[in-house]
Amino acid sequence: MTQLAFPDLTLALPEIFLAAAAMVLLMLGVFSRESAAARTVSYASILVLLFTIVMVGLVTDGRAVTFGGTFIVDTFAVYMKALVLLSAAAAILMSREYLETNKIFRFEFPVLVVLAALGMLMMISANDLIALYLGIELQSLSLYVIASFQRDSSRSAEAGLKYFVLGALASGLLLYGMSLVYGFSGSTGFDALAKLFHGDAEHGVPLGVTIGIVFIIAGLAFKVSAVPFHMWTPDVYEGAPTPVTALFAVAPKIAAMALFIRIMVGPFGDLSDQWQQVIIFISVASMLLGAFAAINQTNIKRLMAYSSIGNMGYALIGLAAAGHSGDAEISASGVEGMLVYLAIYMFMNIGTFACILLMRRQGRHVEDISALAGLGKSNPALALALGIFMFSMAGIPPLAGFLGKLYVFQAAIRAELFTLAIIGVLASVVAAFYYLRIVKIMYFDAPEEEFDGPVSFEMKSILVVSSIFILFFILLPVPLLDSAAAATASLFN
Amino acid sequence: MIVQALAFYLFAIMTVAAAVMVVSARNPVHSVLFLILAFFNSAALFVLLGAEFLAMILVVVYVGAVAVLFMFVVMMLDISFAELREGFLQYLPLGGIIGLILLLELAIVLGGFVFSPEASEHFAAPIPKGGAVSNTEALGEIIYTNYVYFFEAAGMILLVAMIGAIVLTHRTRSGVHKQRISDQINRRPEDTVEVKDVPTGSGI
């Protein structure tokens, strides 16, 4: 037997740290006093997540693999991991008040979020089909549990169960696709697959590989809740506790999109003729459904669910453009647009959910859109923040949401996907209707009772940071654009 | 060769027959027992294929753990299986058609089954030539070395499953009396005993 080199653990240091920290946090929660446990573990896990961002930033140098090529660290991974960790930390920060009012503030919540974040980091760094699957399962399993964290509420339990059953189905589809790809190619490693499929576009691809790719796309589309695999989204978003919904809307989607990009432009990059059509269809269907189905919603969490379906449609425009065969520069511009879009999407969603979490009357959280009536008079600051997020989501210049859409549409036009770009613009016009309706309700409808005060420091800081980002991104877009460009470049070399 | 073929048909027929009985048996406990029979026969099929490790896993995990768990669930939950099966015939035509379509699709996929010519050069962990190692040994050699990352990741997933099960079901029961030794030792006579001076003959 040949002696195997010991894997380079330094590359996986952030993940190892996060795994160890999750276990330490668990012990901390179990052994500290019951009354203080949840609060201590909550703040400790935010620190752990922020420290992991620093570690993620430190370990990179270009592109490196470890564990026999199954684990990859590159600038793309660093960018995506930073987004995921930031949104997970924000979700924990936002959760305290809600969980306390609903009497479900237990220390397992932050621990499960940390474990989910670990799963997401593993997804982003996956360079092998098995690593991909294990990352997805670690992430999903933690999320299923926190979806039904409010276990005395039947809606929360239903949300968790629905998510679990449909998620298991999606995992089945994904595994089936992966086994087909493995069966027809003999390898699970992304590098080996890329080498194998290189130049395959000319002399035809085995049918099994095509079917496998379609199944993998179906499984991943479920994870980003793109049409036609979106059915679970509104119910799960509505039923799950609001801070959990805030997490669902951001972190897992960014991680799954990272996986989508990595697997499509990596091993299957030369087979883009096989998957570009599928992505275009998913993207168009998501944008249209997100635009039209949200119009009739009265619950703001359901509205955000449809909005996130639509937003994933816009992000997938970038991936469709990345499927442009021939010119690597055009493909790169698609991925770059997508990365910028996802970063802006993260800030908009975290801000909006912070506003939703502040909708409290007499110590109870309300979720009806009509409850926002007259907010412009009763709480001008909150109304202004929510107004900024809504205008940004609707894509009104000069807010950040406009620029995000602009970059993906530009990429689509460069890749000559004119129909896709036009449908995207039209869908965003329709979607503007329901975003602006919220602004209208806040400023022009007869005022209702005031929301409960006072706003805690955590919430204030989240609202201020995200609205400043959205408002002033246009003045200083260079740092984000540069890092997105660097991330894309590391993917295409 | 003929013995192998005979064994294959024996085990295959037994598997299918046991699987049919799982669905059609009236008594749920019998269903579970037939399920165990089906597992054993599929394990035998794996042995015929030369995959003795999978056969062992099937017996240990599915027969040893999963089937016993099923048995517990069937016996503990009061489910009327006759009621569940009531609409069975009603949905048979639709289910049958869907099954047929899936079968045809599988036939199409398998009909076009061509291995990529370069596939064998890309095997991530090729089987050692000449049958020098059994496949249990071959798996054992890579699972803790090449695939140690996957092994650890699977461990994390199991940890999450455990935390999840506890989070979703564990309740602290109120009204449970526990012995608190420090409280008992710290009790002082002054806190609990009051000495009253009762005048003689007046009562309390």
- What are the pLDDT digits (tens) for A427-462? 999 999 999 999 999 999 888 788 887 888 889 999
Task: Report how far residue B172's alpha carbon sits from residue A35's, in angstroms, rounded to the nearest whole number.
Answer: 14
Cis peptide before A228 (omega within 30 of 0): yes
DSSP string, A238-304: HHS-HHHHHHHHHHHHHHHHHHHHHHHHTTTGGGHHHHHHHHHHHHHHHHHHHHHHTTT--BHHHHH
Nearest-CB residue to A185 (from B119, B153, B163): B119
Task: Report how far residue B149's alpha carbon sits from residue B136's, in angstroms, rounded to the nearest whole number.
Answer: 19
What pLDDT shows up at residue A260? Answer: 93
pLDDT tens-digit readout, A170-211:
999 999 999 988 887 888 889 888 888 877 555 667 777 888
Task: Report how far residue A42's alpha carbon sits from residue A297's, in angstroms, rounded to the nearest whole number.
Answer: 33
**Residue contact A192–B124, C-beta within 8 A:** yes
Rounded to the nearest integer, the mean pLDDT of chain A is 90
**Residue contact B166–A211, C-beta within 8 A:** no
Q: How far apart are the first and last CA of chain B?
A: 103
Lookup: tokens for B59: 């017996």
What pLDDT shows up at residue A291? Answer: 93
Task: Report how far residue B128's alpha carbon sits from residue A210's, in angstroms, rounded to the nearest whole number.
Answer: 30
pTM attached to this predicted model: 0.89
Half-sphere exposure of B87 (CA within 13 A, CB side): 4
Query: Does pLDDT of A1 surpass 50?
Result: no
What pLDDT shows up at residue A250? Answer: 94
Lookup: tokens for A75: 């600038």
pLDDT tens-digit readout, A356-398:
999 888 888 889 998 888 888 888 999 999 999 999 999 998 8
pLDDT tens-digit readout, A59-100:
766 788 888 889 999 999 999 999 999 999 999 999 988 998
C-beta neighbour count of A228 within 10 angstroms: 13
Question: Considering all CA atoms of chain B, what is the largest pairwise distance in Å, rounded to the nearest integer?
Answer: 113
**Residue contact B123–A1, C-beta within 8 A:** no
Task: Report how far residue A18's alpha carbon sits from residue A30's, in angstroms, rounded to the nearest whole number.
Answer: 18
- Structural domain boundaries of chain A? 9-492
Query: Does pLDDT of A334 surpass 60?
Result: yes
Task: Name the pairing type of β-strands A364-365 and A360-361.
Answer: antiparallel
Measured between CA atoms, the residue of chain B closest to residue A184 is B115
**Residue contact A186–B122, C-beta within 8 A:** yes
Closest CA to A396 of A433, A354, A368, A351: A433
- Whether the Cβ atoms of residue A113 and residue A29 lie closer than 8 Å to each other: no
- B interface with A, Cβ–Cβ below 8 Å: 109, 112-116, 118-124, 141, 145-150, 153-154, 156-157, 159-161, 163-164, 166-168
- Calculate mean pLDDT across residues A488-492: 87
Query: Does pLDDT of A153 surpass 60?
Result: yes
What pLDDT shows up at residue B135? Answer: 79
Task: Report how far residue A320's alpha carbon sits from residue A344's, in angstroms, rounded to the nearest whole number.
Answer: 19
DSSP bridge pairs for A189: A128
| pLDDT profile of chain B (204 residues), mean per 10 | 90 95 85 92 92 91 87 78 71 88 85 63 63 79 86 94 91 81 85 82 72
ipTM of the complex: 0.91
Closest CA to A124 of A267, A275, A7, A260: A260
Comparing B195 with A470, which gets the higher pLDDT? A470
